[in-house]
Amino acid sequence: MDYLDGRIEIMEGDITRLDVDAIVNAANKTLLGGGGVDGAIHKAAGPKLLEETRTLGGARTGEAKITAGYKLSARHVIHAVGPVYHDGKHGEPDLLAGAYRTCLELASQNACATLAFPAISTGVYGYPREPAARIAFRTIIAYVEQHPEIKLVRYVLYGAAALAAHQRVLDQVRME
Ligand code: AR6
């Protein structure tokens, strides 16, 4: 499925395999790897990725930092730190929106015209799927509409249920 004249796509798949300028990692504040999509990206990129992230000094929640992609098809990895979800009243929505926005800004600054996002914070960090999706799509659409240098954003879901739920939310957000 694609939206905004084909500039936003949502799809099911493994983000580590995508041939885009940058893939986004759902990292933690250390930027030194972990489980979930973070573990998969480090495994696919090879040990040089960890060597580079060791030099970055971590990142704050709601921020992101960019590295090379090493053995990945993607030229870059943008390591975003989403919030751990408590009850939604601890700044989680703004922190999640900030993580997406910083990734998009880093893509613009580093001439990454095509990028792919996973559903940041919706795994280990426990952010409920629908509210997280609403924040993700609102932030991505608002940015892409203002930034023609971003040609394609792929939003990559793990599993058919996650894809269907995200499709519903994206359809709602487009009507707002
Ligand atoms: N491709 C696309 N999506 C994936 C993949 C993949 N290969 N693998 C998992 N997902 P999570 P978080 C989905 O837990 O919630 C790590 O340990 C997954 O189904 O990876 O932001 C970090 O080091 C889920 O919907 O990230 C942090 O400590 C989404 O990616 C912590 O987890 C995000 O799930 C970050 O937690």
The span from the CA of 66 to the CA of 45, in Å, is: 14
A 10 A CB-CB count for 48 gives 13
pLDDT attached to residue 134: 98
- Does 18 score more than 90 pLDDT? yes
pLDDT of residue 176: 87
Does residue 26 carry a pLDDT above 90?
yes
In degrees, rounded to 5, the angle at the alpha carbon of residue 59 between the alpha carbons of residues 74 and 64 is: 40
State which fold the 2-174 domain adopts: Leucine Aminopeptidase, subunit E; domain 1 (3.40.220)
Structure confidence by residue, pLDDT tens digits, 113-166:
999 999 999 999 999 999 999 999 999 999 999 999 999 999 999 999 999 999
**Is residue 3 very low, low, confident or very high in pLDDT (cuts 50, 70, 90)?**
confident
Token pair 């058919």 is at which residue?
A: 160
Q: Which residues pair with 67 in a beta bridge?
A: 77
| Alpha-carbon span 92 to 98, nearest angstrom | 10
Question: Which of 5, 38, 94, 171 is an active site residue?
Answer: 38
pLDDT over threshold 80, residue 11: yes
Mean pLDDT of 45-51: 98
Instruction: State in Å: Cα 166 to ligand 1 middle.
Output: 16
- Name the residue ranges covered by the structural domains of the chain: 2-174
With beta carbons less than 8 A apart as the criterion, state whether 121 and 135 touch: no
| CA 26–ligand 1 middle distance (angstroms) | 6
* pLDDT of amino acid 78: 99
DSSP 8-state assignment for residue 15? G
Respond yes or no: is residue 94 known to be catalytic: no
Q: Which two tokens stand for residue 78?
A: 């943008």
Atom of ligand 1 nearest to the CA of 16: 7
Beta strands in the chain (DSSP E): 2-3, 8-12, 22-27, 64-68, 76-81, 114-117, 152-157
CA 165/CA 61 separation, integer angstroms? 25
- Distance of alpha carbon 98 from alpha carbon 5, whole angstroms: 25
Q: Mutation test of ligand 1: which of 84, 124, 155, 157 has the most ligand atoms closer than 8 Å to its C-beta?
A: 124
62 lines ligand 1 (CB under 6 A): no
Residues in the chain: 176
Q: What is the pLDDT of residues 72-125, one digit of tens each?
A: 999 999 999 999 999 999 999 999 999 999 999 999 999 999 999 999 999 999
CA distance 66 to 168: 31
Predicted confidence at residue 2, as pLDDT, reads: 77
Q: What is the pLDDT of residue 64?
A: 98
* C-alpha count within 13 angstroms, C-beta hemisphere, residue 16: 13
Residue 140: per-residue pLDDT? 98
Count the neighbouring beta carbons within 10 Å of the beta carbon of residue 134.
18
Label residue 1 by pLDDT band (50, 70, 90). Answer: confident
Pocket of ligand 1 contains residue 25 by CB under 6 Å = no
